[in-house]
Amino acid sequence: MEIRVVATRPFTDQKPGTSGLRKQVSHFRKPHYLENFVQSIFISQQGLRGGEMILGGDGRFFNREAVQVILRMAIANEIRKVTVGLGGILSTPAASHLIRTRGAAGGIVLSASHNPGGPTGDFGIKFNVANGGPAPESVTGAIHAASLELDHYRIARAPHVDIDHVGRQHVGEMEVEVVDPVHDYADLMESLFDFPAMRALLQSKSFSMRFDAMHAVTGPYAQAILEQRLGAPAGTVMRKEPLADFGGRHPDPNLTHARELGELMYGRDAPDFGAASDGDGDRNMILGSGFFVSPSDSLAVMAANAHLIPAYQAGLKGVARSMPTSQAVDAVAEALGIPCYETPTGWKFFGNLLDDGRITLCGEESFGTSSDHVREKDGLWAVLFWLNLIAARGQSVATIVREHWQRFGRHYYTRHDYEEIETDRAEELMTRLRAALSEMPGRSFGSLRVRAADDFSYRDPVDDSVSTGQGLRMLFEDGARIVFRLSGTGTLGATLRVYLERHETRPDQLDEDSQAALAPLIEIAESVADIRNLTGKEAPDVIT
């Protein structure tokens, strides 16, 4: 088979972010752009040569074309075997599971997660290492360095590879195995949870649920598990067909983008349980009848009730959360006498803790939770955890959460997103804030007094690596917090995220509206950062 060596020049914008490289589809379709980044992976990750690689994505526009390009490049770069999901489809947690169970050298995941799809939408590519998790900074740094020195890429002149039928084939010297993207993952879920109890719950006439797959990757997974293995009524899974443009919507599981589910759960005769997942299946939203569960509370409730779930009955080794995530799980960890780790944003930071056996559960406020069963966040796993918990406790979602608040107090929490800000303006805002940090301690804002202010840094307790510049924090004497970060997951301009939190323990003050309860902190954040003037926005674009 002929191997072409194609001359190219480096692109200067191929530095992976917290979740790989994300750009608009039109950017990825520029001549040599995708090929350059893939070649940078193959050059910097020599362990792939002669090994097995997992390949798949969320099915968004350009997914199938990218799979064919990567297969031809894999042949040219002497990859022994590529295992690809049927039709080029694999959810992110399912890809992680396949990497781990097959002992693969790594995997390429094609997704821009919750970002919009379609010809004018976004595309993404990331490399997962041999533990199944996202590449750590040392690996993404090596990929980026290779991309800046690239002068050629290698690609085979190969026929179109059939990825639409399960089975094995050889393309040149390389084996391609096309696998059912759902089966192994569904088996894993059945090994973790009490499926008989969940089956009884879902088949009961007194219980109903809806799962919004958002026309994204989890449609087939949710149908196979919820409707087929667990016997939920047909129609339980909404928007189940994966579409290349996600039906023209953001596949982001929040009340803004999953509005049909939200209207259903807050309407008359609402189902007992509602949930949604995102583009690539790694995020989740949990709802009860007329009740929204914040991702931070969800992680804390899971930790407090893990002993009720078969896979976690022996107890938790520890828990971890990203720094901007609320401290609700910290209170549970303290009560359980287990460690709680605070990491930077980005799932890759949990990998070392999981591999070292320090933690069992982990989560981020951005609708991501998971455990040591894979090395990615896992949206459908979280939904099944909640279903198992409801079956075990025999209580509603609202009752479970409110009882949790009565025991541990409520961490009122919200995130305000200001999207598509001019990059220069966003960076000016952060620069001004960073310069003012040293003057913050001791400053009072009404009844709130700043105890400390810093730019969060993290030293990994496993490998001693250090990550700096992870978010600006204002910490108040009463335990309240304000955190400012620029997000690395968007493709247009910059997104400013403002996180606000305060802890309430008075039993009669646990049912306030979050925005009302946090109003003083919201006002401080807007004033200190001069958000309206510097962003040109009168209000956040998204509030979660």
Residue 188 to residue 381: CA distance in whole angstroms: 10
Number of helices (H), then strands (E), in the chain: 18, 27
Residue carrying the six token digits 């030293």 = 459
First to last CA, the chain: 53
277 is catalytic: no
Six token digits for residue 78? 């002497």
Fold classification of 410-543 is TATA-Binding Protein (3.30.310)
Q: Where are the domains of the chain?
A: 3-181, 185-408, 410-543
Tokens of 443: 């400053």
Closest CA to 485 of 500, 506, 466: 500
Measured CA to CA, the distance from residue 301 to residue 264 in angstroms comes to 24
Q: Which of 186, 390, 198, 363 lies closest to 284 in space, CA to CA?
A: 363
Are 104 and 98 spatial neighbours (Cβ–Cβ below 8 Å)? yes
Q: Which residue intervals of 83-217 are DSSP H helices? A: 92-102, 137-149, 183-192, 195-202
Which tokens hold the place of 284?
């989740």
Rounded to the nearest angstrom, the gap between the alpha carbon of residue 83 and the centroid of all alpha carbons in its chain is 23
Helix or strand run (H / E) with residue 6: strand 3-7
E-strand stretches of 464-530: 466-467, 472-476, 481-487, 494-504
User: Same fold for the domain at 3-181 and the one at 410-543?
Assistant: no
- Alpha-carbon gap, residue 66 to 64, rounded angstroms: 5
CA neighbor of 294 nearest in space, from 418, 411, 212: 411
Contact 210, 201 (CB under 8 A): no
CATH code for the part of the protein at 3-181: 3.40.120.10
- Per-residue model confidence as pLDDT tens for the chain (544 residues): 899 999 999 999 999 987 899 999 999 999 999 999 999 999 999 999 999 999 999 999 999 999 999 999 999 999 999 999 999 999 999 999 999 999 999 999 999 999 999 999 999 999 999 999 999 989 999 999 999 999 999 999 999 999 999 999 999 999 999 999 999 999 999 999 999 999 999 999 999 999 999 999 999 999 999 999 999 999 999 999 999 999 999 999 988 899 999 999 999 999 999 999 999 999 999 999 999 999 999 999 999 999 999 999 999 999 999 999 999 999 999 999 999 999 999 898 999 999 999 999 999 998 999 999 999 999 999 999 999 999 999 999 999 999 999 999 999 999 999 998 999 999 999 999 999 999 999 999 999 999 999 999 999 999 999 999 999 999 999 999 999 999 855 567 899 999 999 999 999 999 999 999 999 999 999 999 999 999 999 999 888 8
Question: CA-to-CA distance for 29 and 123, rounded, in angstroms?
Answer: 10
295-305 helix and 397-408 helix, angle to the nearest 10 degrees? 80
CA dist 16 and 489 (Å) reads 10
Which residue of the set 40, 113, 147, 294 is catalytic? 113
The fold for domain 185-408 equals: Alpha-D-Glucose-1,6-Bisphosphate; Chain A, domain 3 (3.40.120)
**For residue 118, with 0-12 CB atoms within 10 Å meaning exposed, 13-18 middle and 19 or more buried, which class applies?**
middle
